[in-house]
Structure 1
Amino acid sequence: MSETPSESTPPGPAPTPAAGRKVLLLVDGSSYLYRAFHAMPDLRAVPGDPTSPATGAIRGMINMMQKLRKDVRADYAACVFDAPGKTFRDDLYPEYKANRSPMPPDLRAQIEPIHEVVRLLGWKVLNVPGVEADDVIGTLACMATQHDIETVISSGDKDLSQLVNEHVMVIDTMNDRKRDVAGVEAEFGVPPRLMVDYQTLVGDSVDNVPGVDKVGPKTAVKLLQEYGSLDALVERAAEVKGAVGENLRRALDWLPRGRALLTIKKDCELAEHIAGLPSLDDIVIGGQDTEALKGFYERYGFKGLVKQLEVHDVPPELIEEHKSGKKVGPGPGAGLFDEPDLSGISQASNLQYDTIFTWAQFDDWLARLESAELAAVDTETSSLDEMLAEIIGVSFSVKPGEAAYIPLAHSYGDAPEQLPRDEVLAKLKPWLENPERKKLGQHVKYDRHVFANHGIEVQGYVHDTMLESYVLEVHKPHGLASLAERHLGRSGIDYETIAGKGAHQIPFSQVSVEKAAEYSCEDSDQTLDVHQVLWPRLQADSKLRFIYELEIASSEALYRIERNGVIIDGAMLAKQSAELGQRMMQLEQEAHELGGQPFNLGSPKQIGEILFTKLGLPVVKKTPSGVPSTDEEVLEKLAEDYPLPAKLLEHRGLSKLKGTYTDKLAQMAHPRTGRVHTHYAQAVAITGRLSSNDPNLQNIPVKTAEGRRVREAFIAPPGHFIASADYSQIELRIMAHLSEDAALLRAFQEGMDVHRATAAEVFGVAPGEVSSEQRRYAKVINFGLIYGMSSFGLARNLGIDNAAAKNYIQRYFERYPGVKNYMDETRLSAKSKGYVETVFGRRLYLPEINSPNGPRRGGAERQAINAPMQGTAADLIKLSMVKVQNVLDAERRRTKMIMQVHDELVFEVPEDEVDWVRSEVPRLMAGVAELRAPLLAEIGVGENWEKAH
């Protein structure tokens, strides 16, 4: 499709060492294998069998090494790992790396296979006892420089920055970062030659190497800029004033040892490991061992990689010949980071991509589509706006390695004659609209809209690779390029390669048919290939398959909601905008009076000067650059005691409301329908919740009167009403179900006011004696604990001291022990598995759950408690959305679903169906699942969205 919107990763860095020189590529294998381990899901040699050997790190390592080989052209290459056992640094300082957690057993078991497959991929593997991988890298980089060879180091380790010079650079492909001389200074504030001095002052908490107490990055940079080097600083330590000087002088005896620990060696003995030194001929980059790789991939269950070898493997030397037009061996002259163009090779070797110009070709492919068990479909379009996009071309694939593109509206000067679009689509329409003809796509909701713009309602979409990925690996990117790279080891043609980028990007109709055909065919082909890798994994797990089928059905319902759209009362919004503008002018005048002078209410700098310099208000927190913060949290804190911050907050809220909604919503109406059509992104939130954009309907602030008024502009046509249905206290009901707490379940089963019941338990009074203040406290406690609120957070929220808050939480857990047990067991399970699950089996991965970083680990633990509830709520609203839409269709109702916002479904209802909606929609929603705490859905009806609440 024409760069269809999807969630994808940014492109990697494109460093440019000096052309015309040989290049040594060094991979920090130890850094890579940890990244691979944490980046990949819990893959097993036997999918779904937790006792089977883990393979995620192996698979991730293969992907990373293949991508690096594609991105960086090199003459020599080695992948360097840490060797087991002690190094010279352990003798120098026994506490070195004492804080590091032991390597996870699943990762340790994958190290030897990783070494094996890296060798089979054509890399020299090095692990030298007694030193670290960094030292081997430093020695080889130094050796390469001496022999006039450029060095590129691939690693995320900042310590390697000390090796950078005009001939050595470090690239971090995972974070799109290049560290050359300028890059190091820009990132750290000091040139590479001072990086060891900088690190020695700051220390390294990861490796347990102390620095100078209280000297952080900024202070270290300041000291080195003032004194020129660590040696000069030590010589003049007596001159350094204040606490920094005192701490520096106390550390003088330690600093030489700290620097020795942090300095990368450049003189390791490598003769036993690399033959022929000082020549680097032993690490000339080699070709992969295809036969041995095939056996390896089969042994570890990498079916997609086996297929890649069988169908898509291209010898590296052939790639080199194709790119240069002549035989190319190791040596100077080629562009080091040129993007490979494999079009001629791929088609000549084993891909069959057809471009359809004649009706005979079309009829042949239509017959193939009619007889195919499953066909991948992809559209190329004129726009990313699915409601406006028109088809420029269509591609299909029914068999791996085979695809066809039908150009339909390429309109550049010498474009070849193409089949008429309307006639082609008319002939395709019976197949596209036949639900018995199974179809597959990547982000099929977009393609459904595109076909609908041409009067075709596609039926039979049974698979979507974006959603397959979303269910299996929610924490990963789901764009097709990422999926092909990750699961097939295939890299594709980038959209910007064929269409340009930025202001120079041309519309797809101007892309040459030849380039467009290869691009689109490749998309369909890769979509089919990715599906054949992911679908068996979903089939092997009944719970994940249920979630996937729910996502497919939700995609259908969301397509209908997006297509329906909602009517906006533009005149009402214009009136609200004018009123908001008047109120903002009034607030600005009041703020100027309180500040004692005019200032820009949109300028954090000017606000800071007024609040903290002129008025002397207390500084709540500072920004990373050291200036007092004026963010919303700070203003809210200050507004408790001072009037000006309250005015600023109100002005900010109204400005955002006006700029985002009242000024713009009516302008977003579609020219053909006159309605606003939001876009729902399914594959974004890890909890399964939807995100709404263009416009974002989920962020309308409903806690303020002005925000609620915006919803009054969402109206129904004459003779219709707006209905809004949502679940009552859904997350608390889910907590009761998950925890099986007897008291909490009883409150819901008996239809009690759960906040009043909680207040009665916590405050030890009869339900009828609970005061409104006690109920408010209980409500904050109920919802706060769901979101992992601490006693400190509860105290702040309720305006009480920490001791009282801690006491409330303790009493809550005494009354609801099942909740406490659930929370404790969930944390333990999450640490063991790396993920939690919803009631229905959706997996919610928590990459930081075992992090050595306390705040990150604590955040992941809170997420482990809350995610199953948020995720289950997301599952329930999707089940309801699908169920209600199915009933509307089955009964041929004229009621339309027009929005899904959080836990709410919004409908446009004909007057004669209002009674049916009032009775049936809540019943349908309450009946989609049977939880231990009964579901309750409520509905309101009104002439606009606000009055339906």
Structure 2
Amino acid sequence: MNSKIVLIDGHSILNRAFYGLPDLTNADGLHTNAIYGFLTIMFKILEEEKPDYLTVAFDVHAPTFRHEMYEEYKGTRKPMADELRQQVPVIKEVLKAMGIRIIEQAGLEADDLIGTLSKRCAQKGMEVSVISGDRDLLQLATEQVKIRIPKTKQGRTEVEDYYAQDVKERYQVTPTEFIDLKALMGDASDNIPGVPSIGEKTATKIITEYHSIEEAYAHVDEVKPPRASKALKEHWDMAVMSKRLATINVDADFPYELEEAKLGNIYTEEAYAYFQKLQFKNLLQRFDVTAPSNQVEDAFQEVKDRKEAEAIFAAAKGADEIGACIFKDTQNVLPLFAGQAGIDGIGLCFSKKDVYCIRAGQGIELSWLLEQLEGVAKDAGRFAMFDIKEALEHIRIARQDNCFDVTVAAYLLNPLKSNYTYEDVAREQLNLIIEDKLDAWMKACYEAYTAYAASGILWKRLKECLMDRLFMDVEMPLVFTLYDMEVNGVRVEAEALKYYGDQLGAKIVELEKDIYEEAGENFNINSPKQLGVVLFENMKIPGGKKTKTGYSTAADVLEKLAPDYPIIAKILEYRQYTKLKSTYADGLANYIREDGRIHSKFNQTITATGRLSSTEPNLQNIPIRVELGRLIRKVFIPEDGFVFVDADYSQIELRVLAHCSGDSHLIEAYKEKKDIHRITASQVFHIPFDEVTDQQRRNAKAVNFGIVYGISSFGLSQDLSITRKEASKYIEDYFTAYPGIKIFLDDTVKHAKEMGYVVTLFGRRRPVPELSSSNYMQRSFGERVAMNAPIQGTAADIIKIAMTGVGRRLKEQKMKSRLVLQVHDELLVEAYKPELDQVKKILKEEMEQAASLDVPLEIDMHTGENWYEAK
């Protein structure tokens, strides 16, 4: 059997992967989609081909003969996107780590290298497979040389295969004639200009008849159609240049030893480390290796003896630094302990030589083990753990001032990530690669060690970034406040929730009937495809937008049609009711615990701006703009003898904008305590304050809040149903009225472009990588983020300070009242009725004094027998 070689066009496949896959980034902010796609395609090819040899060819970013020739005619080639460029050196390093031969040569393009190698190898009697997204390489096809072109269809990679005969069947020309075909029709993707006004069909007709451009030119007066004859005469120089551009050099001179391309085991330990760093977890399954061993493991010990454990805790007492974790061994068959179900032991580290996993079991009671951990936590100089809030379910923290939540610290330093595991932190801060296939006790040691070793590094970085006070004074106290809120939960009246769901169900059935009657047929209202056909084909409603999968029935499309077509208004109403029923009426019922309360989880390491989010369930997305959505709040009720107090910041983001911008007009407007939206309307529309209409006030309100979010004239025109020109004038007049805001927003974007991040009043940083994107839409999004993040982030910091202050005072004064919910700018307290006045005083003081701004912070506060009444 003949030996086989696979030749991969590196830049071509990277480029295809880059534009074919959604953007991916790893923990370091490196774009990785092109690398991931390249490797996926390469693995697929290797599994199919099973070659003996493999070589990947890359272009060198230096002028080549073809570059220079093209630039004479067309100027410079389109530059490579920055997000793709940064991935090129990385894929080369990964391939080298896998032992794969890479070839690149100054003055030669990758297809010249591939063309020459394919000829050399074919002459040796080898089978050759060339992998490229560039169809120019079809000219290399022979009976021995196969050209394989990967294509992405519906998220899956398919490969088109071409031997010489396949090229002839597909394009009606031989591989050699394919060069002439390209010379006439051109190829914009490969910077081949071709001959103006000659397309693929005409070019194919000419080459199948004359077989080359030279022969066609020799009979140019006979070439049909006449316009093609005329074009070939007038642009013969372009045809000649295009042919030279399209012709691959198959006799290039460069050094290459075939044996260096011999394919061995590509799944090396070095490659494994790269895949870990790139966070290609599903690709790691291909490796049958362990991660490179870490010397720190030499200090790891598994402890099951009570006396040994006592000695360890004694040695740890008073340590400057403690790293710890609470762990569960899913393989462990030890009995579960009452009150601590699922906990098997702890990880503990207090020096690089003292790293332990202490197991609960025979001789070591879990309750004793956790008590010992509480003791060392109290006496430690710094007590570090990942996700301390989760640990509070199992241990009592006597001190908060020495606690260091590694998860929160890592989040502050890079708020764009989706998670902050100990494996990630170990890799990023300690340069440790932790393999997945470890015993549970080893993982516990690693987590404790990483908490111990990384906390000091993270603290130093926080101080360098001026976020140390934000961490210690805002985020760390918040950990304990959120835990208390989760434990408190909020009471839900199950019967009222069921009644609410039944009402929704009845309304849904009624709407279905009305919709079917107006449509004249029954269909699946929840099917966009069926709905599109009914509305835009059967009912002939104008305004339908046809896509590849059918008509768009998105909300923005239907909302424009709703005023004129009652059926569409009812469909939108139907969607609203079904969403309310499934998500809230039915969904919330699943979260009511035995105590009759919902204990939602509050997350402080999810959003990039610093805002909190809630899950299991999400209580922050309960609709408030429509009455039916607000009614769901009626099912949330206080305990008997208690009442709800709801306090909500008044226009906090606009007040923050006034302070940050220093705009004297906006600051003065707030100090006068007048209607800010009416004042804005008065100044923007140049009319007396008392003559502002309700519509003008609503428009001004949209501009006020839109400015905070970096709204464009297009966005404002959509919101107000006005022309872009009118919207642009509104924004222009707004900035004339409040010039300080324009200066602030411009300076903020400028700072973000220079530094790569924006900052809140409290020092929170929000990176804005989109500003360096080569994509205009991404850059525009980045500018909006840069404008909004300091405002929204500062507001988030203020509410965090306020809620921590409220929670602390309720506990310090040993009150029965408790903080139960936070929804963006709103706090909900379940107040013991005899303490009601005191609760109101605490809320007002803590919320209005949470920050010192140039404008006063104000709150709206209400009480009620349910959340609806209190709001």
TM over 0.5: yes
Determine the structure 1 residue equivalent to 2:351: 399
Partner of 1:476: 417
1:647 matched to which residue of 2? 570
Are 2:41 and 1:100 equivalent residues in the alignment?
A: no
1:91 matched to 2:43: no
1:895, distance to aligned residue in structure 2 (A): 2.1
Q: Which residue, out of 358, 371, 386, partners 1:442?
A: 386
Q: Which residue identity lines up with residue 552 of structure 1 in the other structure?
A: M
* Paired residue total: 801
Q: Which amino acid aligns with 2:387?
A: H
Partners in 2 of 1:628 and 1:202 — Cα distance? 35
One-letter code aligned to 1:670: R
**What SS does structure 2 have at the residue aligned with 1:930?**
coil
Deviation at 1:612, TM superposition (A): 1.0
Name whichever of 886-895 and 142-151 sits farther off.
142-151
**Residues 160-195 of structure 1, C-alpha deviations (whole Å, 9 max, x = no match):** 998999x9999xxxxxxxx99686796477626599
Q: Does 1:360 align with 2:307?
A: yes
Displacement of 1:456 in angstroms is 7.4
SS at match of 1:579: helix
How has the CA–CA distance of structure 1 residues 638 and 358 changed in structure 2, closer, same or farther, with 3 Å as cutoff? same
Instruction: Give TM-score scaled by structure 1 length.
Output: 0.72
Equivalent AA in structure 2 for residue 93 of structure 1: Y
Q: Are residue 337 (structure 1) and residue 286 (structure 2) matched?
A: yes
Question: In 2 relative to 1, CA 524–856 (structure 1 residues): closer, same or farther, beyond 3 Å?
Answer: same
User: 1:24-47 CA deviation, whole Å, 9 max, x = no partner?
Assistant: 999879979x99x99689x9xxxx
1:464: which partner in 2? 405
Q: Confirm whether residue 706 of structure 1 aligns to residue 625 of structure 2.
A: no
Q: Deviations over 1:367-391 (max 9, x none)?
A: 23324322222222489xxx99631
- The alignment-based identity, stated in percent, is 31
Q: Structure 2: how far apart are the matches of 1:523 and 1:206?
A: 50
Q: Which residue of 2 aligns with 1:720?
A: 642
| Equivalent pair of 2:620/2:824 in contact (CA under 8 Å) | yes
SS in 2 for 1:663: helix
Superposition deviation, residue 914 in structure 1? 1.2
Determine the structure 2 residue equivalent to 1:280: 260
**Shift, 1:654, TM fit:** 0.9
Secondary structure of residue in 2 paired with 1:757: helix
Residue 358 of structure 1: CA displacement? Answer: 0.7
Alignment of 1:131-280 (within 5 A): 131-132=108-109, 187=156, 191=160, 193=162, 269-271=253-255, 277-280=257-260
Which of structures 1 and 2 has the larger relative contact order (alpha carbons within 8 angstroms, sep 6+)? 1
Cα shift readout 1:546-576 (whole Å, capped 9, x = no counterpart):
2565222222221121121111111100000
Matching residue within 632, 635, 643 for 2:555: 632
Determine helix, strand or coil for the equivalent of 2:259: coil
CA displacement, residues 646-691 of structure 1 (integer Å, 9 cap, x when unaligned):
11111111111111111131331233x4321111222221111122
Listed as ranges, the matches of 1:701-850 within 5 Å are: 701-850=623-772
Distance, in Å, in 1 between the alignment partners of 2:298 and 2:474 is: 34
Distance (whole Å) between structure 2 residues aligned to residue 740 and residue 642 of structure 1: 48
Q: Is the 8 A contact 1:396 1:524 kept in 2?
A: yes
| 1:309 corresponds to | none
1:130 counterpart residue number: 107
Q: Does residue 597 of structure 1 match 2:541?
A: no
| 1:490 maps to 2:432 | yes
Of 601, 608, 613, the match for 2:532? 608
1:923 aligns with 2:870: no
2:370 to 422, 425, 437: 425
Q: Distance in 1 between matches of 2:817 and 2:601?
A: 20
Cα distance between partner residues in 2 of 1:888 and 1:213 = 79
Change (3 A) 1:812 1:113: closer
Larger Rg: 2
Shift of 1:696: 0.6
Change (3 A) 1:755 1:183: closer
Partner of 1:511: none
Give the distance between the partners of 2:667 and 2:240, measured in 1 at CA.
64
- What is the CA-CA distance between 1:122 and the residue it aligns to? 9.2
Range moving further from structure 2, 189-198 or 828-837: 189-198
Structure 2 equivalent of residue 566 of structure 1: 490
Q: Following the alignment from structure 1 to structure 2, what is the Cα–Cα distance between the partners of residues 837 and 21? A: 57
Asked if the contact 2:647–2:859 (Cα under 8 Å) also holds between the matched residues in 1, the reply is yes
Matched AA of 1:406 = I
1:825-846 Cα deviation digits (max 9, x unpaired)? 2222222222222222222222
Select the residue among 479, 484, 495 that pairs with 1:555: 479
Whether the 8 Å contact between 2:97 and 2:271 is mirrored in structure 1 is no
Deviation at 1:733, TM superposition (A): 1.1
Pairing 1:623-702 to 2, within 5 Å after superposition: 623=547, 625-671=548-594, 673-702=595-624
Report the secondary structure of 1:668's partner residue: coil
State the SS of the aligned residue for 1:572.
helix
Secondary structure of 2:551 counterpart = coil
**Secondary structure at the counterpart of residue 840 of structure 1:** coil
Q: Distance in 2 between matches of 1:545 and 1:266?
A: 64
Q: Distance in 2 between matches of 1:364 and 1:248?
A: 93
Contact 1:620 1:629 in 2 (8 A): yes
C-alpha distance in 2, partners of 1:610/1:62? Answer: 44
What CA distance in whole angstroms lies between the structure 1 residues aligned with 2:70 and 2:684? 53
Distance 2:187 2:848 in 1: 55
Measured after TM superposition, the shift of residue 426 of structure 1 is 3.9
The answer as to 2:321 corresponding to 1:374 is: yes
| Aligned equivalents of 1:204, 1:855: Cα separation in 2 | 26
Structure 2 segments unaligned to the other structure (5+ residues): 172-177, 210-224, 274-283, 331-338
Matches of 1:39 and 1:358 in 2, distance apart?
45
Secondary structure of 2:356 counterpart: strand
C-alpha contact (below 8 Å) 1:381/1:392 kept by paired residues = yes
Root-mean-square deviation (CA, aligned residues, Å) is 5.4
SS in 1 for 2:392: helix
Residue 704 of structure 1: CA displacement? 1.4
Shift of 1:875: 1.3
Whole-angstrom distance in 2 between the partners of 1:590 and 1:394: 61
Q: Does the aligned pair in 2 maintain the 1:58–1:113 contact within 8 Å?
A: no
- The change in CA–CA distance for 1:694 and 1:917 in structure 2 (over 3 A counts) is same
SS in 1 for 2:346: strand
Please state whether the residue corresponding to 1:351 is helix, strand or coil.
Answer: helix
| More displaced 10-residue stretch of structure 1: 873-882 or 122-131 | 122-131
1:280 Cα offset (Å): 0.8
Judge conservation of contact 2:380–2:402 (CA < 8 Å) in 1.
Answer: no
Q: 1:725 to 1:607 in 2, by over 3 A?
A: same
How big is the shift at 1:809? 2.1
Tell whether 2:818 aligns with 1:876. Answer: no
1:6 alignment partner in structure 2? none
| Displacement of 1:466 | 2.1
Inter-partner Cα distance in structure 2 for 1:251 and 1:595: 56
SS of 1:550's equivalent in the other structure is helix
Q: Provide the rounded CA distance (Å) in 2 between the counterparts of 1:721 and 1:214.
A: 79
Contact 1:28 1:79 in 2 (8 A): no
